[in-house]
Structure 1
Amino acid sequence: MLAAVDRTFREWARSREPMIPAGFSWTFVIITDVTMAAIGLVATLQRPVADWPVSLAAIVVAFMPWVLFFIFNVCKYEGQALWAAWMAGTAVLLFATSTPIRGDFAPLLLTLTVGVVGAITSMLGGFLAAASAGALLVAAAAAHRLETPELYLAFLGIGWLVGYLIHVQRQLLIKEQETQAELAAHAAADERRRIAREIHDVIAHSLSITLLHLTGARHALEHGCDNAAAVDALRQAEDLGRQAMSDVRRTVGLLDAGNESLTPEPGVEDITTLTDDFIRAGLNLTAEISGAYQNVSPAAGLVLYRITQESLTNIAKHAPSSCSRLALAISPHEATLSIVNEVEVPIGRPVTPRGRGLRGMEQRIEIFGGTLCAGPRGDSWSVSARLPLGAPA
């Protein structure tokens, strides 16, 4: 029974949260209303018993906005409604009692009014609330219903200052929440781009080598060559397809928030295996790698690996019968990668849109402050990358 009541109350509270101004919470609403009720109760006890019905009626008037906001779902928790109800309740407490009260607590409700209205609305809203509350105090003093009005006027100034400070803090909190939401959106977009690059690189590379193996197998079968060569090519294509599926599952697994896979990403030391795969698949490629792998961080090694993978995949896709050269030089401070495809580039060839692969290579290397140039060079197509080492990404 208690669990059902608690669940119902929580659902009701969540349904009313949009009515609370941005930057505030139920804690602010509850503290404000409890303070208002405490002031009204003390002011009621200060008055003669005969005036208690009038005092309780004043408290009911002060609570009307709360009823309209959260019971009948009429409007939001607005400062104007609070100002009208609390000013009316205070006026009833001050003018509708039979005798003036010494040390009256009722004007403190005006201080709460000024502070809350200033916090919810603006500096000007708080100032107008303070001015109207001051006018009410002056009127009560002129009617001899209030002693020491100057003390209560000082409380109004304090209430306005507190409301203004809360208003400023609220604006800063809203700005911080908006900034955090923008950062989260940018982070999500960056993560989607990273996963898209990974999937593109894995699938394009695997399919290109698989197609080379299948082409070799078909050529062997068509020309009556040894069936063992065709079977070997098909077996390698099958193995590569299984590896590609595993890579795709690992990359898609990055989308899982609970993914805790510790499978390492490929690095610079895997470039040799990558070039060997292309060579076995039939690509006419020569590779020369020099330098110490230890100078390359895992993140920088992944960049070099993906650039090599994308470049060789493009060669296998567009010019599988051409000659290609790969040179990777690693020094303590820089890694230089050059991939040249000796294919004739027609003069005046129209510029095609930059594909996802080239954009992905540029995005990867720019993160580390490197540079990448890709395009025709003489009678060949060249991809050149320079990646500084030892510098933080």
Structure 2
Amino acid sequence: MSGSDVVEVLREVAPSVLGVLVRRHHDFDACEDALQEALLAASTSWPQDGLPANPTGWLVTAATRRLVEAWRRDSARRRREANDLLREVPAAPEQLPASGADDTLALLLLCCHPALRPPSQVALTLRAVGGLTTAEIAHGLLLPEPTVAQRISRAKARLADGLVHPREVFAPPTEAQRTERLPAVLAVLSLVFTEGHTASTGEHLHRPDLTAEAIRLTRALRAALPPGAGEAGEVAGLLALMLLTEARRPARTSADGALVPLAEQDRSCWDGAMIAEGTALVEDVLRDGVPGPYTVQAAVAALHDAAVDPADTDWPQILALYDTLVALWPESMSRLGRLVAVGEVHGPDAALAELADLAQDPGLRTHHRVAAVRGHLEQAAGRDEAAVAAYREAARLTRSAPERAYLLDRASRLT
């Protein structure tokens, strides 16, 4: 078995293993340390000995034994805990379930505990469920490694302070618990994907490791939900949105890394398999129930992906979907995205009139995308001087080097 195959298996089963360990033994830090040692042991032995029949059971057994060893070394006052743990170590790995779907879902819900702030939720999710190291998370989020380590440490400490009954947290979640907590989970996964799709800072437009991890975790979440769960539709909608968006990534930058806008992309480079899977998911959700915000956004992405040529884009239908989205979720960025469709259907001046009001939103007042949309609309209206000023303002506000270069290039073409 190759080393790359081992890494893939380890990354897939690690969240389930950590969920089992924390559910049994409650100490997040100690369980995570033991899991890291077990993963290291597996990465050494599995390429030589072959994949065990039950990788999850093998890792749980190995990690549990390491917990026992650690607590044995921790003086006489921990002797009782060690003896209790010894009785819990399974006789053979095969006695443990091969898959821990319920534990993965519980772990996701735990990482998105409302006691944690969103940045901490993102970091802890990537660490505990995504299996990324602190260094990998710091690289993906473009943050100093000590900052990420501090967020993770504080998040775990906060959970330890706030969870009076850990066993209840790692029991199979009730329908009410899923309904209450799933929006935060989806928001975190969406945020991770968005940061990977368009990095908020730095020299690169994309962070493919983050988009891939967000898609993988969303797939895991969808698989972990029980059949018929009422929340399954929006999970599928978010997965569809990610797939339909990620499908365009190969054409979204030129050979030198410059941003290529949607209308100018080589659509033959788009990933047809991702588009087909995402479109099928959207159709299934729309057929089976009332769509939520992520599904509506996915439907917009599907219409863009269905257009063989930019001129074939069904803008009236896209505008109708945006109207539905804003009614469901009157969030600033969705309202801003709607104005692009308004400009295509009713003309740029109609969109600019609405943009003047939207730009007063406190959350958008200094956001570079407002100025970028204004530049696009002014250019479409033939007012090049105003468009240049808007593009330059957007370039000044963005922290993304590829976006800044693109906006300045748009401005220079009009001067």
Given the two structures, how large is their TM-score scaled by the length of structure 1?
Answer: 0.22
Q: Which has the higher strand share?
A: 1
- Larger-Rg structure: 1
Q: Which has the higher helix share?
A: 2
Given the two structures, how large is their TM-score scaled by the length of structure 2?
Answer: 0.21
